[in-house]
Structure 1
Amino acid sequence: MEFETNYYSDTEGAVFWVPNQEAIHFRRVNPPLTCNSGLHINPRRPPFCPGFSPVNPLLVGFLELGFDPDVLMKMEVQRSISLLQFMADERLVPSPEEEIKRRNVIAKLKQIVMHWVKRVAYQCQLPKNRVRAASATILTFGSYGLGVHNSGSDIDALCVGPYFATMAEDFFVLLHNMLASRPEVTEIHCIKDAKVPLMKFKFDGLSIDLPFAQLKVISVPENVDLLNPFFLRNIDDTSWRSLSGVRANKSILQLAPNVELFQSLLRCVKLWAKRRGVYGNLHGFFGGVHFAVLAAFVCQRHPNASLSLLISIFFKTFAFWPWPRPVFLHGRMMPPTISSDSRFLMPIQLPCSPNEYCHSNITRSTFFRIRTEFLRGHALTKDILRPDFSWSILFDPFPYAKKYAQFVKICLSASNQDELRGWVGWVKSRFRSLLVKLEELQGFCDPSPLEYVDVDLAAPNVVFYWGLQPSRRDVIDIDFVDEDFMKNMSNGYRVPPGRMKLSVVKASQLPKSVTCNTGSKGVRARWRILDNSQRKIPVRTNSLPQEFAGLMATNGSAEFPSAGV
């Protein structure tokens, strides 16, 4: 008899929850239940049981063989500690000084927009009492809003203004000029033609993305609740899209049972995705909000799990997820029927709206890449008791130069850095059409999100290298692809502000900056038991799965670990 179950441990042995929520002890059941380590994890949230701790399902086989569950649980805890140490070594968590700087920048931006909205109200000749009451605010979202930013992250901030503040004149002209006049602000430019129009600039050296949303109110509270329907009445489509990031963040944080564990899991997942080349919505992969929902999904269903267990479950869950079945969080309605559009190969519901999905640019190639990386992650994290386990292997950079024999080189250039920034953003927003065209001709293309600079070009430039798999076509007509994509680029620009050149290069022609593996190495897992004075080391045997038998006490000497007592 087998069950879909979540496992728990008490001080004597292992228990597990069956669907009727009855706690059953392995050693007290007659006749004994059969169980194997390949059971599917119950997707429903398990009931909370005081006095019991969650156990990785992969430990159950060892518990049945008589291993001390207390020791195994401590090993599980130590594996989480080693992961936290790895995160610290990778500087995934900003320093206190960096946090203070970010908070100060946000506070200054709030002061600026408050001064701005008063000027707008005065210019609109509103009554004096309304000018005094007028207010606007800054709300953060993205990685900073979720609390998972790192030292190099930019800040996604939303300017929320009242009904009389317009985007075209007041935001992109008046506020732009106010910001540009400040000495702390550099590299400011407007992106007006995007689906979510915004300003990009640096404030005290920190990169800021600032879209705008207009609410039909005279005064916007500083911490306005954008999940409250009152503030969403009669807003325009552009404002609705601008608000979605803040609303999604707030919903996710409300639905995550343990925010700190969710944040740690999401930090790890984002680092893994970036290292493995499957991060970036514009390149056809998952973006930050996609991974945030997936991480929250796992946390909801396993609220008592340790960090290392959550990582294992994350990869197991999505390596075998029956796409295109949608992913949506508990506490939200079942999403509607999805379109047959290829963008919905991996649908993920926006948690703030039952009728919307996270915007996706996924194609057949990127779907394959994401699934392959999920499977690799599962293969590396499923054997949790391997003595030679190292977190750094999971986060090894993807070896593009070894994987592909040919690459499409996309070189974007402009006369100056300001024009280049706008041109690169415009081209990247249309990358999906280029990727689909290359798939039609070649069958598969891996759009690496990594950006490089061609040092042999005098003009400012950005270069991308997309991997190509061998196909029935010996030669790809890259000039035809270039011409076709350039027509797409020209749509919306009377005169494109930059230049683009596509070419096919061999792996042997890649510059050294591409072929070198620059990924930093992490730390190995720590199996030391903290609350025991004696040092313990893994012991292997050929008669058990994964060749792991248990822990052997030593004299604590790192130089002579075999001198047991």
Structure 2
Amino acid sequence: MAHAQPNRRIAIVPGPQFIDYRTVIPPVGFSPAPVNIISPSFHHVHQVEVLVPFNPPVLAPVGYTLNPAILIRMDEERTQSLFQFMVNEGLVPSPEEEMKRKDAIAKLKQMLLTWIKKVAWKRRLPKHQRTCATILTYGSYGLGVHGSDSDIDALCVGPWFATMEEDFFIDLRNMLQSRREVSEIHCVKDAKVPLMRFKFDGISIDLPYARLKVLYVPENIDILNPFFLRNIDEISWRSLSGVRANIRILQLVPNLENFQSMLRCLKLWARKRGVYGNLLGFFGGVHLAILAAFVCQRHPNASVNALISKFFESFAFWPWPTPVMLQDGMMPMVGNVAEIRSFMPIRLPCSPFEFCHSNITRRTFQRIRAEFLRGHAMTRDLLRTNFVWNSLFQPFPYTKKYPRFVRIFLSTSDQNELGDWVGWVKSRFRSLLVKLEEEQSIYDPNPSEYVDPDVAEPNIVFFWGLQPGQSSFTDIESIGKSFMKNINNGYEGSCGRIELSIVEASQLPKNA
């Protein structure tokens, strides 16, 4: 395979039970040597696999052999420094923040019980007929990798008689709006997965709806059970796929804590390096979760440090577009041809098999590959004494990389309408990416959102890196007109303002 390691072999390192041995990926230049570390308090030893290169040392004296125990110790030290980095970055919410999220979900569940009873009464179901609806969390919160500022993806699952248009988007919305804990509520009806977006006690929540062909939805429903998936509509199927994928990922990873720590770091890396944001042609949360789980499955005994190193090593040299698929004990099935032919196909780990929705273009694929290679170059050498984790997570230097930028300015007259307008335009960004790819050889959509303080009306601004190819690219007007036609098609709200222009790097905000 393209990611094989021909210059490495496996050394069996015996050791006592109380030592937590890890899979180590050291730099080229040392030969393996078995090490016996035997404690008199133990009567047997365990064997663990340690990947060590067998090339002759470059700097070490002739005949010198590095003890793999040193590699293990260095791996442990780097892992501990990574955990400290995570604490410093605030990647793990405090117990108080965790409790606040749990309380919000518990209150939402209680509201759903009241809501579904009112709907049952309105639909004139028999009084003795028991009915129930529930909340299923997924996304970063469902995987246990959310941060202190993360939102909550929470799926409302209801019985067949509760409709989306009337009961969910009207009755439940009115109920939410009447609660003092709820603010900034918006209905996003025209998305592939329609949802309500609001804040509950200050926590942002995305709430889509799935309707099952049952009268009673138990709180602990097994959503992987095919019984509950019979004859459901397409929107409900799409809404449920995120929950089902989450559950399978958690079932398939060999070490949950290592997986969660690894994924927290990878999400931070993707954000800092500007390759996080599915609507802009980069990774979404589910993409990174499956890639992380893939590495965890293949290195079940590895430390978090080693897992991150193997992540970059694996996918920097992955033979794309070969799909990435988790081992789940089922026979692999051929998925949708169009997905398999995409640039970075990643299969969802739940049956029937589907591929993750992706907006990756040729250019954003190249950008992701470049970040994989950078990460691999920075993490492959375990013996680097000057290694610091901050360097891996340095923000991408847009203003140093690109001389000019496409400026996408979005605004509305009413602050309450800005979120819907920006969300709608972002959902159509792929058409703009494709148009730029046709006209321009190098572009880089920066996922960060900025506010222009010099404009009185509420606004959001995007700056996308632009490096002209063989011909000078200046015709942003024709691209803007084409994009506007796409935006104006189907939007039900009050259209805001959009302006596309080209600006110099010196005109970007200081924090860009």
Could you say whether these structures have the same fold, taking a TM-score greater than 0.5 normalized by the shorter chain as the test? yes
Classify the secondary structure of the residue corresponding to 1:129.
Answer: coil
Match runs of 1:114-263 below 5 Å: 114-130=113-129, 133-263=130-260
1:445–1:26 Cα change, 3 Å? closer
Distance 1:57 1:167, change over 3 A: farther
Return the letter of the residue paired with 1:213.
A
Is the CA contact (8 Å cut-off) linking 2:439 and 2:473 kept in structure 1?
no
Distance 1:277 1:3 in 2: 33
2:48 to 41, 45, 53: 53
SS in 2 for 1:392: helix
Instruction: Give 1:428 shift.
Output: 0.4
User: What percent of counterpart residues are identical?
Assistant: 62
In 1: Cα distance, 2:182 partner to 2:154 partner: 15
Question: 2:128 is paired with a residue of what secondary structure?
Answer: helix
Question: Distance in 1 between the 2:229 and 2:45 partners?
Answer: 42
Change in Cα spacing, 1:76 to 1:280, as seen in structure 2 (3 Å) is same
1:425-457 Cα shifts (integer Å, max 9, x gaps): 000001010011011111221111000001111
The structure that has the greater radius of gyration is 1
SS at match of 2:112: helix
- Report deviation, 1:301: 0.5
1:482 aligned residue (480, 483, 486): 480
Contact 2:312–2:375 (Cα < 8 Å) also in 1:
yes
Q: Secondary structure at the match of 1:513?
A: coil
CA distance in 2, matches of 1:372, 1:238: 36
- The match for 1:356 is 354
How many angstroms apart in 2 are the aligned matches of 1:473 and 1:496? 38
Cross-structure match for 2:41: none
- Counterpart position of 1:283: 280
What CA RMSD, in Å, does the superposition of the two structures yield over aligned residues? Answer: 2.3
Matching residue's letter, 1:9: V
Q: Which moved more, 1:181-190 or 1:492-501?
A: 492-501
> In structure 1, how many angstroms separate the alpha carbons of the residues matched to 2:420 and 2:22?
56
Does the CA-based 8 Å contact 1:11-1:69 persist in structure 2? Answer: no
Distance in 1 (CA, whole Å) between partners of 2:341 and 2:104 is: 37
Match of 1:75 in 2: 74
Corresponding letter in the other structure for 1:94 = P
Partner of 1:100: 99
Distance across 1 between alignment mates of 2:350 and 2:222: 12
**Contact conserved, 2:32 with 2:66, CA < 8 A, in 1?**
no
Deviation at 1:60, TM superposition (A): 8.2
For residues 294-305 of structure 1, the aligned pairs below 5 Å read 294-305=291-302
Question: Aligned to 1:377, which of 372, 375, 396?
Answer: 375
- Count matched residues: 482
Q: Relative to structure 1, is the Cα distance of residues 433 and 57 closer, same or farther in structure 2, using a 3 angstrom cutoff?
A: farther
Give the direction of change, closer, same or farther, for the CA distance of 1:153–1:445 in structure 2 (3 Å limit). Answer: same
What is the deviation of 1:26?
A: 6.3
Give, in angstroms, the shift of residue 56 of structure 1. Answer: 4.4
Report the residue type matching 2:349 in the other structure. P
Q: 1:367 to 1:376 in 2, by over 3 A?
A: same
The residue number in structure 2 matching 1:37 is none
1:257 and 1:341 mapped to 2: Cα distance? 28
Query: 2:323·2:340 contact (CA, 8 Å) conserved in 1?
Result: no
User: What is the aligned counterpart of 1:429 among 394, 418, 427?
Assistant: 427
1:553 alignment counterpart: none
Shift of 1:72: 2.3
Letter in structure 2 aligned against 1:215 = L
What does the per-residue CA deviation read over 1:157-210, in whole Å, with 9 as the maximum and x for residues that have no partner?
Answer: 000001111101000000000000000000001000000000000000000000
Q: Which of 317, 322, 325 is the equivalent residue of 1:325?
A: 322
Q: Distance in 1 between matches of 2:132 and 2:221?
A: 11
Residue-by-residue CA offset, 1:234-268 (whole Å, 9 max, x unaligned)? 10000000001100000000000111110011011
Among candidates 458, 462, 465, match of residue 464 of structure 1: 462
**TM-score (norm. length: structure 2):** 0.90
CA 1:462–1:50 in 2, change beyond 3 Å: closer, same or farther? Answer: farther
User: Quick one: distance in 2 between partners of 1:443 and 1:480?
Assistant: 17
Structure 1 gaps, min length 5? 18-24, 29-48, 515-565
Are the equivalent residues in 2 in contact too, given 1:55–1:305 (CA < 8 A)? no
Q: Provide closer, same or farther for how the CA distance between residues 405 and 333 of structure 1 changes in structure 2, counting only shifts above 3 A.
A: farther
Query: Could you say which residue in structure 1 is the equivalent of 2:489?
Result: 491
Q: Could you give the per-residue CA deviations for residues 522-556 of structure 1, whole angstroms, max 9, x where no partner exists?
A: xxxxxxxxxxxxxxxxxxxxxxxxxxxxxxxxxxx
Offset at residue 342 of structure 1 (A): 9.4
| Corresponding letter in the other structure for 1:108 | K
2:335–2:355: 8 Å Cα contact kept in structure 1? Answer: no
- Partner residue, 1:10: 14
**Deviation at residue 418 of structure 1 after TM alignment:** 1.6
3-state secondary structure, aligned to 2:465: strand
Q: Which amino acid counterpart does residue 394 of structure 1 have in structure 2? A: L
Deviation by residue 1:75-97 (Cα, 9 ceiling, x = unmatched): 11111111011011000000000
Q: Taking structure 1 as the reference length, what is the TM-score of the superposition?
A: 0.82
1:89 counterpart letter in structure 2? N
CA distance in 1, matches of 2:167, 2:22: 60
CA distance in 1 between partners of 2:7 and 2:507 (Å): 55
